[in-house]
Amino acid sequence: MTKVAISDAHGVMREGLRALLCSTGEFEFAGEAADGASTLALARATDAALLTLGLSMPGLHGLDLIPLIKIENPSLRILVVTMHPEQAYAVRAFKAGASGYVTKDTPGKDFIAAARKVASGGIYVSLMMADQIAHGFAEVDSSFPHQRLSAREFQILLLIAAGESIAVIAGKLGLSAKTVSTHRTNILEKSGLANDAALVRYAVRHDLLEDDGAELL
Where residue 76 sits, what CATH number does that domain have?
3.40.50.2300
> Which of the listed residues 104, 123, 139 is the one where a domain comes to its end?
139
79, 115, 123, 188, 203 from 119: Cα distances, Å: 9, 6, 9, 39, 34
Q: What percent of the chain has pLDDT over 90?
A: 59
Instruction: Write the pLDDT tens digit of every residue in 101-139.
Output: 998 888 999 999 999 999 999 999 877 667 666 665 555
In a domain, 190, yes or no: yes
Q: Which of 116, 139, 162 is where one domain is finished?
A: 139
Q: What is the CATH number of the domain that holds 196?
A: 1.10.10.10
Which residue did the predictor score with more confidence, 145 or 175?
Answer: 175
For residue 216, tell me if it sits in a domain.
Answer: no
The reported pLDDT for the residue numbered 217 is: 41
Residue 136's pLDDT is what? Answer: 56
Q: Could you tell me if 90 and 150 lie in one domain? A: no
Specify whether the backbone of 59 is left (phi greater than 0), alpha (psi in -120 to 50) or beta: left
Task: Decide if pLDDT at 36 tops 60.
Answer: yes
Q: How many domains does the chain have?
A: 2
Distance CA 59, CA 24 (A): 32
Higher pLDDT, 98 or 150: 98
Q: Is the pLDDT assigned to residue 32 strictly greater than 50?
A: yes
- Domain end marker among 115, 139, 163: 139
- Same-domain check for residues 79 and 129: yes
Rounded average pLDDT over 171-181: 91
Does this model's pTM top 0.85? My answer is no
Q: Which residue has the higher pLDDT, 53 or 172?
A: 53
For the chain, give the mean pLDDT.
87
181 pLDDT above the threshold of 70:
yes
Residues 94 and 181 in one domain: no
Is residue 127 located within the same domain as residue 172?
no
60 and 150 within one domain: no
Whether residue 215 is contained in a domain is answered as: no
Note the pLDDT of residue 138: 54
pLDDT higher at 176 or 151:
176
The stretch 163-177 carries a mean pLDDT of 91
Q: Is residue 211 part of a domain?
A: no
Please check whether residue 100 is in contact with residue 118, taking contact to mean a CB–CB distance below 8 angstroms. yes
| Phi, psi for 89 (deg, rounded to 5) | -130, -15
**Mean pLDDT over residues 75-93, rounded?**
84
Distance CA 77, CA 63 (A): 14
Q: Are 58 and 31 in contact (CB under 8 A)?
A: no
Does residue 213 belong to any structural domain of this protein? no
Neighbours of 78 (CB within 10 A): 26
Whether the per-residue pLDDT at 141 is higher than 70: the answer is: no
Whether 99 and 118 share a structural domain: yes
Q: Can you give the residue range of the structural domain that contains 173?
A: 145-205
Same-domain pairing of 94 and 17: yes
Specify whether 125 is located in the same domain as 25: yes
Q: Which of 27-31, 54-58, 71-75 has the lowest mean pLDDT?
A: 54-58
118 and 160, same domain (yes or no): no
Residues 37 and 84 in one domain: yes
CB atoms near residue 77 (< 10 Å): 25
